[in-house]
Amino acid sequence: MSFKRNAEIYGENEPAEYFYKVVSGTVRTYRILADGRRQIAAFYLAGDMFGLETGENHASSAEAVCDVKVLLIKRSAIVAMAARDSEIARQLWTLTARELHRAQEHVMALVKSAEERVAGFLLEMASRVPTGNQVELSMSRQDIADYLGLTIETVSRTMSHLESTAMIELPSSRRVVLRNRTALRRLNE
């Protein structure tokens, strides 16, 4: 299925009937907090699976960050196959463990300074889409802020500071060149 930029793929509390695999583009999962703020839980890139739930309903909403194509896989079919095939069960276990690890890392990042959070985010994106030292961000600064628990102004100021210290270069608002990965890693430790 194809979804246009900002289109909802599924909503919070809707039945979790499918697993999803990103074929192209980027997907964000998020929740709207009681005070109206949006907290982005994760970004899913090409090759990533999302929509894995412990219950019968989705715990968050999912939207297309940009135009995306996703493959839908019937949840009941995968569960039935996993019951018969230990390799599929192992793959589901690995996927679940990877999601848990990513969530734990995200929670730990939220206690770091703004500079540490932004550096960690850039390193994460660079590791997930290995294209040398250039990272093409499909998400907006607001998306990054909502993911990192910061304001858009803080994200922009921090990016500018990282550029002024020669850790990154910003040829455009969406393209980031990692000029000093070692310094970025030190910030993120």
List pLDDT tens digits, range 4-62. Answer: 999 999 999 999 999 999 999 999 999 999 999 999 999 999 999 999 888 899 999 99
Q: Does residue 63 register a pLDDT over 90?
A: yes
The pLDDT > 70 percentage for the chain reads 100
HSE-CB of 30 using CA atoms within 13 angstroms: 24
- For position 140, what pLDDT does the model report? 95
Which domain covers residue 144, as residue numbers?
114-188
Q: How confident is the model at residue 188 (pLDDT cuts 50, 70, 90)?
A: confident
| 158 and 135 assigned to the same domain | yes
Q: Is the pTM of this model over 0.75?
A: yes
State which of 109, 125, 140 marks the end of a domain: 109
- For position 54, what pLDDT does the model report? 83
Q: What are phi and psi of 35, to 5 degrees?
A: -90, 5
| 52 and 124 assigned to the same domain | no
CATH of the domain at 19: 2.60.120.10
Q: Does residue 116 register a pLDDT over 90?
A: yes
| 105 and 118 assigned to the same domain | no
State which of 56, 88, 109 marks the end of a domain: 109
| 75 and 127 assigned to the same domain | no
- For position 189, what pLDDT does the model report? 79
| 77 and 119 assigned to the same domain | no
| 32 and 92 assigned to the same domain | yes
CA-based nearest residue to 29, from 106, 90, 89, 95? 106
- For position 69, what pLDDT does the model report? 98
CA distance 106 to 149: 10
Q: Does residue 95 register a pLDDT over 90?
A: no
Q: Does residue 157 register a pLDDT over 90?
A: yes
Q: What are the tens digits of pLDDT across the range 124-142?
A: 999 887 778 899 999 999 9
Q: How many domains does the chain have?
A: 2
| 53 and 104 assigned to the same domain | yes
| 180 and 123 assigned to the same domain | yes
State which of 77, 93, 109 marks the end of a domain: 109
Quick one: average pLDDT of 105-115? Answer: 89
Q: What are phi and psi of 140, to 5 degrees?
A: -80, 170
Q: Does residue 147 register a pLDDT over 80?
A: yes
